[in-house]
A = this chain, B = another copy of it.
């Protein structure tokens, strides 16, 4: 706190190094952490030719697989499937729907045969038709009650402690921290402020169409089944442009869906930071990359190597993964 009052730029480099040590206790003192700290010191040092004014210190973070886990299925899909079951009594016609039958029976072979289209259509219907306030309330209830199949804990317990520290460290150094994720914007907004200190207006995500209506109780927005914007792949720089209007100088991702965002932030003049979180810790979390159905990391890993981006090994660079693990 004292550091904040004094202003970071007044501090000597040695002191900043100590503060990074204190601010990032869950990080091993390896190359990844050193590269991140060096970047932050560089762009916040008024004497450096790489100095960036605070208003332009924009850092963007993918969410699934970058700030919290995403296996064995995206957690939002777990929520949407639970919604499907919850509203099924209102849809007797689903009993004859092959996609519904396969989903309820968890019939992977049949689901693979049907393809994604009928499943997505069904999920879209189950997750629309209510006001945004009603949807938000259903979300909050689910977050309190649902548990992850492997860790037997609420999904919001599966955020990465080292990334929480990193977000706070960047904000202490004048950065704005934004989420730019393929996930649904309202799904994330329900919990990102508590989990990461990121308020709703700094969450960029995929967007369902909504429609303004004057209902009995007042004006509302009603969720529609169609998608207005997909914030993934080449859509991420577009989402950034629409919501932020400034090009980030730092970007964090973990999959090929983050490649264009990392390029947009990191390819160009000046001091930039691009970071990939590599899931290589089967014991404490999961290990997957080039062949994974969820969070595939293939092209972006090649690009990271070619461009010397920072690749964080969850196994080697993180002393712990989750906040509830004992400290070391």
A residues touching B (Cβ–Cβ < 8 Å)?
55, 132, 176, 185-186, 189, 199-201, 203, 207, 210-212, 214, 218-219, 221, 228-229, 234-235, 237-238, 241-246, 260, 263-264, 267-268
Contacts and interface: CB of A to CB of B under 8 A. Distances in A.
A243 B243 contact: yes
Nearest to A237: B212
27 contacts: A55-B199, A132-B241, A185-B245, A189-B245, A200-B246, A201-B243, A201-B245, A201-B246, A211-B238, A212-B234, A212-B235, A212-B237, A212-B238, A212-B264, A214-B263, A218-B267, A218-B268, A219-B237, A219-B260, A219-B263, A219-B267, A219-B268, A221-B237, A221-B238, A221-B241, A228-B242, A243-B243
A139 to B, nearest CB: 13
A246 B237 CA distance: 24
A234 B211 CA distance: 8
A230 to B, nearest CB: 12
Contacts of A210: 238, 241
Nearest to A260: B212
A233 to B, nearest CB: 9
Contacts of A201: 176, 201, 243-246
A242 B212 contact: no
Nearest to A242: B207
Given A211-B238, A212-B235, A212-B260, 19 more contacts: A55-B199, A185-B242, A200-B246, A201-B243, A201-B244, A201-B245, A201-B246, A212-B234, A212-B238, A214-B263, A214-B267, A218-B267, A219-B264, A219-B267, A221-B238, A221-B241, A228-B229, A228-B242, A243-B243
A14 B23 CA distance: 43
Contact of A203 (B185, B237, B245): B245
Nearest first, the 7 A-B pairs at minimum CB distance are A200-B245, A212-B234, A212-B237, A219-B263, A218-B268, A219-B264, A218-B267
A240 to B, nearest CB: 9
A235 B209 CA distance: 11
Contacts of A242: 185, 207, 228
A138 B300 CA distance: 34
A212 B214 CA distance: 37
Nearest to A193: B55
A201 to B, nearest CB: 5
Contacts of A260: 212, 219
